[in-house]
Structures are given as structure tokens and as C-alpha cells.
Amino acid sequence: MGVSSPDDPALVDDFQSDRVTGKRPFRREKVYPELQDGMSTFGSLSAARAQWKSVSEAAAKRGQAVRMGHFIAAVELEPDLGFSIEDLNEPDEHLTIWGDPARLAGAVHRIYPATTVTD
């Protein structure tokens, strides 16, 4: 996520589907292409930070910058608002969410830095 405030109009851009953003399909997305019409998320702040740290470390080893931004949005989704979620109960808390990017951005209640002072 590249936006640090829930009030920033550019926030909607951070909720585009993996297909729209050009994210390469991996494992399951190759078998189930409809997964690319959603976006990868995580079930908790700690799980999202762990994923960010893993990606950041891998990018650093390759001499690259992190391309996913430096912030994590906390989103509160409510039933019957047009969102779909796939939760396979994976240990890393990975989820896929489908929904209108503007509505997803509107559901953001707080944005956190991807890293903490202890990272």
C-alpha cells in the first residue's frame, strides 16, 4: 500500500485487483484464474507485517526495492456489501478479497506502517 492516510483519494488505487495491477499469477492463480480478479490480503496486522518483512528481505537480497508499498490498511468489511472472501485457513492467514475498489477503500478504518521500530 502506497497511501498513508484513509482520507487520501488515491487510496482506491491500492485496492485494484491483482489482474488490474499486473501481478503475475502464481501457483493457485494459474489453476484458478478468477483469483486474479481479487486481491491478496491477510487476516491480521501481524500476518501482513510478517509477509511484508519476508518480501522486503527477499527484495533486499536481489538488490531491489519493495514494490508493494510501506503501509498496511486495516479494513472492516460488513456482510451484504458486495464483498467476497476466500479463506482457506492457511497458517499465514492469507485471504483473497473480491469487491469494488472504491468500496474497499471506503472500508479502511486505519493505516499502519508496514514495519515497526523493532523490525
CA distance 100 to 83: 8
CA distance 30 to 36: 9
pLDDT tens column, 28-52: 999 999 999 999 899 999 999 999 9
In 3D, which of 40, 28, 98 has the Cα closest to residue 73? 40
In a domain, 4, yes or no: no
Q: In terms of pLDDT, which residue wins out, 96 or 9? A: 96
In a domain, 14, yes or no: yes
In a domain, 109, yes or no: yes
In a domain, 3, yes or no: no
State the total domains in the chain. Answer: 1
Domain of residue 27, residue span: 9-113
pTM of the prediction? Answer: 0.84
